[in-house]
């Protein structure tokens, strides 16, 4: 086996790859999914109360509200703009402070506080805004609250959905780069006859497969790392994360080689990927639904790379905590080598 020929084939694949639809698709999808889940739907996962305020008398409440953490506060000019915004659900609530509101509160009067709630706002946000308004008025009046509330967190805090989606996003990056790219490249070479042309030269089938594996391996490392960076999930031990990603990329790319060797046509390739897709995807569901029995996920091969990614990147655990999972993933990777050597004869048919 010649490293020089492997490098030439790899260089050729990377030079023409950006012009291939399967390569572009694999590159774009993880970025698109990250944007979809973390930006477009971010407000659904971690909604902040959105409050609009119209202050007609320079109330102290306005300044106090602007200093609150966890609120999105917008100062508007007039009542009409506020009502239209609340009706469109641009804001969860709108507060109108009439002229002289502070003086009336301090004098012991009971001025009307106009508070408008959007019909589409979350019940939790309505409660938060209402309690906040009452507390602000009480402070303005100068009276003390009848009780002191002490918040005690019992049990382990749950992770937000946006964090639990990180394994899914990394999984998709690994599948697209490690499985889809090398398998599609092999099948395309078969259909266009370029694979036969390469074999007529001094290139050997093992060298071609090694180059395809190396292309998927490097691309998978790049996309998985980029996906973690985009989601701010590299964790406190980036070097440990790098080790986990390398093992994960090696395993997924082996699967890609097997699928590419076995598939004679693009139709057969799509059928195999669709059939195996759900089988490979199942371990991800156990991170979205942590109450499910976790031992079931261990029955699927990609669990042994998704679990280390979750533990090291999201939970911040060291490699010493996931050595067994990485060992199993490495064993699965090595076990696929004899299978590839047996199936490679299909390349000639």
What distance in Å separates the CA atoms of residue 158 and residue 329, rounded to the nearest whole number?
A: 28
What is the pLDDT, as a whole number, of residue 301? 84
Q: Tell me the pTM.
A: 0.64
Same domain, 301 and 340: yes
Q: Comparing C-alpha atoms, which of 261, 238, 251 is closest to residue 319?
A: 238
Instruction: Specify the number of domains making up the chain.
Output: 2
Determine the structural domain holding residue 24 and report its residue range. 3-41+160-348
Beta carbons of 91 and 74 less than 8 angstroms apart? yes
Same domain, 323 and 191: yes
CA atoms within 13 A on the CB side of 27: 11
- Residues in the chain, overall count: 349
What is the pLDDT, as a whole number, of residue 214? 92
CA-based Rg of the chain, rounded to a whole angstrom?
29
Beta carbons of 48 and 72 less than 8 angstroms apart? yes
Question: Is the pLDDT at 4 greater than 90, yes or no?
Answer: no
What is the pLDDT, as a whole number, of residue 45? 47
- Mean pLDDT (the chain) is 80
Same domain, 337 and 189: yes
- Could you report the per-residue pLDDT of 18-47, keeping only the tens digit for each? 677 777 877 787 777 777 776 555 544 456
What distance in Å separates the CA atoms of residue 42 and residue 29, rounded to the nearest whole number?
A: 18
Could you count the other beta carbons within 10 Å of the beta carbon of residue 311? 19
Tokens of 38: 């973390």
H/E run at residue 99: none
- The alpha helices in the chain, defined as continuous H runs, are 3-16, 21-35, 42-45, 60-66, 79-87, 101-106, 123-141, 161-164, 166-174, 181-192, 194-200, 205-230, 238-262, 266-288, 303-309, 323-343
Same domain, 65 and 87: yes
- Could you report the per-residue pLDDT of 146-162, keeping only the tens digit for each? 544 444 443 444 555 56
Question: Is the pLDDT at 119 greater than 90, yes or no?
Answer: no
Same domain, 344 and 267: yes
Could you count the other beta carbons within 10 Å of the beta carbon of residue 241? 23
Same domain, 231 and 290: yes
Beta carbons of 199 and 40 less than 8 angstroms apart? no
Q: Comparing C-alpha atoms, which of 189, 242, 244 is closest to residue 215?
A: 189
- Could you report the per-residue pLDDT of 136-146, keeping only the tens digit for each? 877 777 765 55
Same domain, 102 and 133: yes
Q: How confident is the model at residue 330 (pLDDT cuts 50, 70, 90)?
A: very high
Q: How confident is the model at residue 221 (pLDDT cuts 50, 70, 90)?
A: very high
Beta carbons of 280 and 332 less than 8 angstroms apart? no
What's the mean pLDDT in 86-108?
Answer: 86
Same domain, 323 and 189: yes
């Amino acid at each position: 086996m010649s490293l020089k020929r492997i490098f030439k084939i790899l260089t050729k694949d990377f030079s023409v790859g950006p012009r291939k639809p399967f390569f572009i698709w694999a590159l774009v999808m993880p970025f698109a999914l990250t944007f979809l889940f973390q930006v477009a739907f971010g407000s659904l996962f971690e909604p902040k109360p959105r409050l609009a305020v119209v202050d007609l008398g320079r109330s102290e409440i306005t300044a106090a509200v602007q200093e609150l953490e966890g609120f999105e506060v917008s100062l508007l000019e007039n009542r009409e703009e506020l009502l239209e915004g609340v009706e469109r659900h641009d804001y969860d609530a709108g507060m109108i402070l009439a002229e002289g509101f502070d003086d009336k509160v301090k004098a012991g009067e009971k001025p009307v506080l106009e508070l408008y709630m959007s019909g589409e706002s979350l019940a939790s946000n309505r409660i938060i805004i209402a309690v906040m308004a009452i507390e602000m008025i009480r402070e303005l009046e100068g009276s003390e609250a009848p009780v002191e509330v002490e918040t005690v967190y019992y049990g382990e805090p749950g992770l937000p959905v946006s964090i639990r989606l990180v394994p899914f996003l990394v999984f998709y990056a690994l599948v697209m780069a490690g499985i889809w790219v090398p398998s599609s490249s092999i099948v395309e070479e078969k259909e266009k006859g370029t694979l036969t042309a390469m074999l007529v030269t001094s290139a050997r089938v093992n060298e071609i497969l090694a180059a395809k594996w190396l292309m998927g391996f490097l691309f998978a490392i790049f996309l998985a790392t980029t996906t973690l960076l985009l989601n701010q999930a590299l964790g406190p031990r980036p070097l440990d994360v790098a080790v986990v990603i390398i093992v994960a990329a090696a395993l997924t790319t082996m699967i890609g080689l097997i699928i590419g060797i076995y598939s004679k046509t693009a139709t057969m390739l799509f059928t195999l990927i669709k059939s195996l897709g759900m089988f490979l995807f199942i371990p991800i569901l156990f991170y979205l639904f942590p109450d499910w029995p976790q031992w079931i996920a261990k029955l699927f091969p990609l669990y042994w790379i998704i679990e280390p990614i979750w533990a090291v990147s999201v939970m911040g655990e060291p490699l010493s905590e996931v050595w067994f999972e990485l060992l199993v993933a490495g064993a699965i990777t090595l076990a696929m080598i004899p299978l590839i050597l047996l199936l490679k004869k299909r390349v000639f048919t």
